[in-house]
Chains A and B, each alone.
Chain A
Amino acid sequence: MLEIKELTVKFKTPQGELKACDKVSLKIEKGKNLGLVGESGCGKSMTCLAILKLLPAEAQITWGKILFKDENIFKMDSKKLRTVRGDKISMIFQEPMSSLNPVITIGEQLTEAIMTHKQVTQSEAKKQAIELLKKVKIDKPEARFYEYPHNLSGGMRQRVMIAMAISLKPDILIADEPTTALDVTTQAQVLELLDELQREYNMSVLIVSHDFGVIARLADSIAVMYAGEIVEYASSEDLFKNPRHPYTKALLVSLKQMQQKKDNLTVLKGAVCDLTKLPIGCRFKPRCSEADAECKNKITELVEINKGHFVRCHKCKK
């Protein structure tokens, strides 16, 4: 349904050009959830924002296309794009505290989303909005309707964001780190809510996180990103059982150690490479335990090593 093809996003910075996404290709199928995982600054958010053409002004899409129902989003005019935004594809963000407009009531922010895309009366939109607030389990929805975001806690605001995002029963919901800013109990509740809604509406959720635990809850397939590139892409089952890329393996090892409550986690040495000065060879090489001389100079491609299991590492053979 949604196909990202070789998406390349560049930023102009004083240090030179920065490649935030480098030929990222992903596919989201109807009713299936895709997880996108990777550490901060690896290009996850930029990929999400590109889908709705919401990239910051400094970012440039230099290559690639995004097809939604076989139509290139980048080629749509602003009017057409607006019919996709919020209606067909909607999005929730990392920061529930700043993602709602502080001077507009919850109710108005909800009804305006509905009324932008549907020909309904004010009172009908209000009825739907209150229904939605009930659906995302906000207590006293009739009263909350007239309140402002500052009256709500972070978790509640994220629920309002979710209510807004599902208000038009979209085909795809992009959830960019939806639980990162929330405390642990609220995190679990929000994930559960997303899970329920996904089933009920049969939407596809693109869930983005740096936390494998969050991804594992929802995703049918998972893409692992590193330094702007997809390094591994497989079904969840496959990826957890049989991770191939050294980076994925390292991430899963620390996840397991955390679940076993070990005091000392294995730490991945070093930091993500400078995105303005990318090496020719494998970008993970400086931190990789399995690297050899070949990794430094050989361009690594994303290769299908098993059916539906792609890895960007020349040491992983079929």
Chain B
Amino acid sequence: MIKYIAKRLLLMVPMLLGISLLTLLIMHLSPGDPTSLRYGLNPEVSGSARAQLKELYNLDKPFVVQYGCWLKRVVTLDFGRSFVDNRPVIDKIKERLPATLLLQISALLLIFSIAIPVGVLSAVKQNSFFDKVTTFLVFIGFATPTFWLALMLMRLFSFELEWFPVSGMSPWYAQYMSLPQRIGDILWHLVLPLVTLAFTGLASLSRYVRYSMLEVIRQDYIRTARAKGLAENRIIFKHALKNALLPVVTILGMTLPALIGGSFIFETIFAWPGMGRLGYMSIMQYDYPTVMGVGIISVFLTLLGILISDILYAAIDPRIRYE
């Protein structure tokens, strides 16, 4: 088990290398560089000042050398300083990561705690009224673009009903609140982004659970369980659900990258101070060190998510062994 996890962690290294190389390459391929944004349109800045700045940031060196320099620092966990405000990248990420994790983990928990019962129930009562209603809602969920839903919710609940704040996570005056008040305030800000994020995720996951459950309850071993005289609850929740959750765990691993990736647009709409928004801003500002830092941390979390789902899979399916 420990050996397996160690092996998987080691396998992440080449993956991280490849992805970081690609990220830097793509940044370089995009037109312009950090100096052009700051000085390119300013006639008072001379060409030599730009050249000085390029030299300072190593931008005059070949691409491979730049990547090498970056890598050398990263190995010692030094992500460098931001081009924009000269603060250490790691500090900027540390500030933003909790917000993203709070949103993503609570969305994930919400999605799973609703989708599994809904999926199970609509499979057990296939073609019932409940099943038909959820199927209808699921199709709406699939078809709704996140950004549109976000804007509509904002309009209804923030502008018209004024129930929830429009955007942001904690306002400037939060520092004057007591701790319970601050937590309450953050949760209050969390509602709209969470609902938006959960709605679309809910649709696909409950569908997966339903499909998987329908597949399982037709299996021979469910008939065996019935023939033994077990109660229906035990058949569904013990014999069927344990099998039906196997594919769902794989989906859990696949959801994590989607959630982290999806938060780029999402956090920008809701002005949620998370990793996605940081990444987006850094890209717009040609802030290479921050982009790379955000990229690496996101990729690492994604790979970690996949690893966790693989471990979970082995924990519930005895046929899978760590080899």
Q: How many residues of B sit at the interface, in one of the four size bands?
A: 20 to 34
- Chain B residue numbers with a CB within 8 Å of A105 are 318
Whether the pair A86, B228 counts as a contact (CB closer than 8 A) is yes
Whether the pair A82, B230 counts as a contact (CB closer than 8 A) is yes
Please tell me if B285 contacts chain A, counting CB pairs below 8 Å: no
- Chain A residue numbers with a CB within 8 Å of B225 are 101
Quick one: which of B154-208 are within 8 Å of A by CB? none
- Chain A residue numbers with a CB within 8 Å of B78 are none
Whether the pair A93, B220 counts as a contact (CB closer than 8 A) is yes
Nearest CB in chain A: distance from B83 CB, A: 53
- Contact partner of B227 (CB less than 8 A), chosen from A54, A83, A150, is A54
Interface locus among A110-118, A124-132, A214-222, A248-256: A110-118
- Contact partner of A85 (CB less than 8 A), chosen from B219, B228, B234, B242, is B228
- Chain A residue numbers with a CB within 8 Å of B228 are 85-86, 90, 112-113, 116, 164
Known: A104-B238, A104-B239. A99 touches B229 (CB 8 A): no
Chain A minimum-CB-distance residue to B225: A101
- Contact partner of A95 (CB less than 8 A), chosen from B220, B243, B319, is B220
Whether the pair B230, A103 counts as a contact (CB closer than 8 A) is no
- Chain A residue numbers with a CB within 8 Å of B224 are 93, 99-101, 161, 164
Nearest CB in chain A: distance from B78 CB, A: 46
Whether the pair B243, A116 counts as a contact (CB closer than 8 A) is no
Quick one: which of B283-323 are within 8 Å of A by CB? 316-319
- Chain A residue numbers with a CB within 8 Å of B220 are 93, 95, 98-99
Please tell me if B226 contacts chain A, counting CB pairs below 8 Å: yes
Q: How many A-B residue pairs have CB under 8 A?
A: 77
Please tell me if A2 contacts chain B, counting CB pairs below 8 Å: no
Known: A86-B228, A101-B243, A112-B228. A54 touches B223 (CB 8 A): yes
Question: Complex Cα distance A283/B243, Å?
Answer: 43
Please tell me if B231 contacts chain A, counting CB pairs below 8 Å: yes
Q: Is the interface of B mostly helix, strand, loop or mixed?
A: helix
Question: Complex Cα distance A113/B230, Å?
Answer: 7
Max chain A Cβ within 10 angstroms of own Cβ: one of B225, B229, B243? B229
- Chain B residue numbers with a CB within 8 Å of A83 are 229
Please tell me if B139 contacts chain A, counting CB pairs below 8 Å: no
Question: Complex Cα distance A52/B224, Å?
Answer: 11
- Chain B residue numbers with a CB within 8 Å of A86 are 227-230
Known: A54-B223, A98-B220, A148-B318. A85 touches B239 (CB 8 A): no
- Contact partner of A100 (CB less than 8 A), chosen from B221, B229, B234, B242, is B221
Whether the pair A103, B242 counts as a contact (CB closer than 8 A) is yes
Known: A93-B224, A95-B220, A150-B318. A102 touches B229 (CB 8 A): no
Known: A52-B227, A148-B318. A102 touches B221 (CB 8 A): yes
- Chain A residue numbers with a CB within 8 Å of B243 are 101-103
- Chain B residue numbers with a CB within 8 Å of A102 are 221, 243, 317-319
Chain A residues packing against B (C-beta within 8 Å): 52, 54, 78, 81-87, 90-91, 93, 95, 98-105, 112-113, 116-117, 148, 150, 161, 164
* 21 A–B pairs (Cβ distance < 8 Å), ordered by A: A52-B226, A52-B227, A54-B227, A86-B227, A86-B229, A90-B227, A90-B228, A95-B220, A99-B223, A100-B221, A100-B224, A101-B221, A101-B239, A102-B221, A102-B243, A103-B243, A104-B242, A113-B228, A113-B230, A150-B319, A164-B224
The 4 closest A-B pairs by CB, nearest first: A86-B229, A85-B229, A86-B228, A98-B220
